[in-house]
Amino acid sequence: MEAISLSDIKKIYQMGDNVVHALDGVSLAIAGGEFTAIMGPSGSGKSTLMNILGCLDRPTSGSYRLDGQEVATLSDDELAVTRNKKIGFVFQSFNLLPRMSALQNVALPLVYAGVEKAERIVRASRSLAMVGLDTRMDHRPNELSGGQRQRVAIARALVNDPTIVMADEPTGNLDTKSSNEVMEIFRQLNAQGRTIVLVTHEPDIAENARRVVTVRDGQIVRDERKAG
């Protein structure tokens, strides 16, 4: 069974008289354990697609099945639980809470998962260690470099052990060295059997993925799989 299955997804924004078809009939199936990169020019609808995949947004029409479950039938609270338990989402702009330490930021999904405090600290530390930040646990986001912040965000996405990790331009704000470190983490996660979907502008980042889906004007125009 596919981990993700989209059929004829549309997302329409009505801006006064102007109708924007951000997604215009997207159908896509992603199997469990796949590493998929989504590419496309700016404004093509990549983020819109990712937000729908990450259960942050709802499509205007079409069906989205996540692990066989039709997402449209879920309530807002059920969506929240899905985001919490199944999906790890890494934002382009990190979206860390500025007043909290790296450890507290990483532990936040566990708060909403109802995990005990002691357990939260153990798991958040482990997650930070996984991205190589176990020496920066008490730093606040503004005391970290961009690459370190992105790694905190990844650690947070991983902390609740999701089967799918989604990232919207995770390396968009990083230099080459940091980008490579971050991509290495994604490769490892994929090697552990997790499904990875990431959006990127850069072809060499997309190189890491075994499948590259190209979006243009809200439609999928190319879907390539690398051999092996």
Ligand X SMILES: Nc1ncnc2c1ncn2[C@@H]1O[C@H](COP(=O)(O)OP(=O)(O)OP(=O)(O)O)[C@@H](O)[C@H]1O
Which residues are at the interface with ligand X (CB under 6 A)?
A: 13, 15, 20, 22, 40, 42-48
- The answer to whether 64 and 72 are in contact (CB under 8 A) is yes
In whole angstroms, the minimum distance from the beta carbon of 187 to ligand X comes to 23
Q: Which residues contact 163 (CB under 8 A, 6 or more apart)?
A: 3, 32, 67, 86, 194, 195
- The two tokens of residue 187 are 């490769």
In whole angstroms, the minimum distance from the beta carbon of 52 to ligand X comes to 10
194 φ, ψ (degrees, to nearest 5)? -80, 150
Task: Report the amino acid identity of residue 163.
Answer: T
The angle subtended at Cα 72 by Cα 163 and Cα 21, nearest 5°, is 100
Using the rule CB under 5 A, which residue among 47, 101, 148, 200 binds Mg ion? 47
Which of the ranges 39-47, 111-119, 148-156, 176-184 carries the binding residues for Mg ion, by CB under 5 A?
39-47
Which of the ranges 25-33, 63-71, 110-118, 209-217 carries the binding residues for another protein, by CB under 8 A?
110-118
128 by Cβ neighbours in 10 Å (0-12 / 13-18 / 19+) ranks as buried
Q: Name the pairing type of β-strands 195-199 and 2-15.
A: unpaired
Rounded CA separation 102/110 (Å): 14
Cβ-based nearer residue to Mg ion, 103 or 209: 209
Going residue by residue from 130 to 169, which x/- string records binding to another protein, judged by CB under 8 A? --------------------------x---x---------
114 binds another protein (CB under 8 A): yes
Which of the ranges 15-23, 63-71, 76-84, 200-208 carries the binding residues for another protein, by CB under 8 A?
76-84
Total of residues contacting another protein (CB under 8 A) = 25
In whole angstroms, the minimum distance from the beta carbon of 47 to Mg ion comes to 3
83 binds another protein (CB under 8 A): yes
Of residues 124, 193, 116, the one with CA closest to residue 158: 124
Total of residues contacting Mg ion (CB under 5 A) = 1
In what side-by-side order are the strands of the sheet with 2-15? 18-31, 2-15, 61-66, 69-70
In whole angstroms, the minimum distance from the beta carbon of 141 to another protein comes to 11
Cβ-based nearer residue to another protein, 53 or 212: 53
List Cα–Cα distances, 212 to 14, 148, 196, 215, in angstroms: 30, 27, 12, 10
Which residues lie near Mg ion (CB under 5 A)? 47
Which residues lie near another protein (CB under 8 A)? 51, 54, 56-57, 76-77, 80-81, 83-85, 89, 91, 95-97, 99, 108-109, 111-114, 156, 160
